[in-house]
Structure 1
Amino acid sequence: MRELQIVDAAELATAYAAADYVVVLDGDSLPLRVGLPATDLEAYAPAARYAFITAWNPASQPRSDSANEAADALLVAQLDAIGAVRHPAWAQDPDGGWREPGWLVVGLGEDDLLRLGLEFGQAGVLDWHAGEPVRLRMLMPRPSAAFGVANTEWVAG
């Protein structure tokens, strides 16, 4: 497991919560937003639980495309090994200046999601149950300055 070294975890959580997330199902791009229900997505792919995870840019530190693609291939292999249903997805900042590929995973248990997020050095993942708002799960201790980051849970520490 990698240890995250984030200069400003509260700022990072705010950015993740404000990001646009998109899932591709049957050629359609379906948006996700932290704090809102994913009604269209849930109608397309009914399940009890959903998650968004990526292996790109651990701890939000830019890496080369080749390093990110290698990490993604390892994540895909682990998802496939546990029989997880996955769909291509991405996250991007609202201005479109940053975009990162990832996966919408249907039915992945909380323990597996958190384990994979930590193993791949991610600062956060998305996770929610059908009919509930999408929530951000930050995989680090909650900083004292993290007040007001709605729909965010700090998992570590």
Structure 2
Amino acid sequence: MTTLPSDAVHASIAELVRAYLAADYRWQHGGDWHDLQIGLQAPALELLYPDHGTFGMLSAWNPRSVECAESVNREADRALRDDLAATGLPFLPAFGSAFDRSWREPGWMVIGLTLDKFDALSRKYGQLGTVWWTYGQPGRLRVDASRPAEFGNDEHVDWLRASPADG
């Protein structure tokens, strides 16, 4: 197995994060698909679930954004769905994709989960990026990596690992 130099890993992460920020995010309710965007609130979710306070979108597909066989992804998705069902909280079908649909990843919108439990599920399924909304606040991209120095700051990105660039 070849190990990439740290600057190549950081460049790859920066590229992936840019793709996540530009992605199209949607969730389904009552047979209709609804748009979401990082940096904007989630008014339809807030109207449907006014007493839950948080909304998180995550997937079990392609851990660390490394493409896996469809059968592997579907099995991981079933396990995530079972974990979400065990919380007793509402969750809905969702997906993230490139605007040109050159890639698309199914996932779930979970309503009312605490941030620590959401992050734990994300780590369990090896996700590099997830999206999180708190009632009345803009959506945030949560990245399970350190911020590459060349990436700069983005007010809607939470880097979950300490970075040399952060001092």
Same fold (TM over 0.5): yes
SS in 2 for 1:140: coil
What is the distance in 2 between the residues matched to 1:150 and 1:63? 31
Structure 1: which 5+ residue stretches go unaligned?
Answer: none
Q: Match of 2:165?
A: none
State the Cα deviation string for residues 13-45 of structure 1 (Å, max 9, x = none).
111111010000111111001001111232233
Q: Percent identity?
A: 38
2:42–2:133 CA contact under 8 A, matched in 1:
no
What is the distance in 1 between the residues matched to 2:116 and 2:129? 14
Structure 2 residue 108 is matched with structure 1 residue 76 = no
Further displaced range: 119-128 or 143-152: 143-152
Q: Match of 1:40?
A: 44
Whose helix proportion is higher, 1 or 2? 2
Runs of 4+ in 1 over 6 A off after TM superposition: none
What is the distance in 1 between the residues matched to 2:67 and 2:113? 27
CA drift at 1:128: 1.4
Q: Match of 2:62?
A: 57
What is the distance in 1 between the residues matched to 2:71 and 2:87? 25
Structure 2: which 5+ residue stretches go unaligned?
Answer: 1-5, 163-167
Amino acid at match of 1:140: A
When normalised by structure 1's length, the TM-score is: 0.91
CA drift at 1:77: 1.3
Whose strand proportion is higher, 1 or 2? 1
What is the distance in 2 between the residues matched to 1:92 and 1:41? 20
SS in 1 for 2:56: strand
Structure 2 residue 112 is matched with structure 1 residue 107 = yes
Aligned length: 153
What is the distance in 2 between the residues matched to 1:148 and 1:154? 10
Structure of higher RCO (CA pairs closer than 8 Å, 6+ residues apart): 1
State the Cα deviation string for residues 83-138 of structure 1 (Å, max 9, x = none).
23210000001111111100000001111111111111100111111111110000
Q: RMSD in angstroms over aligned alpha carbons? A: 1.6
Structure 2 residue 123 is matched with structure 1 residue 118 = yes
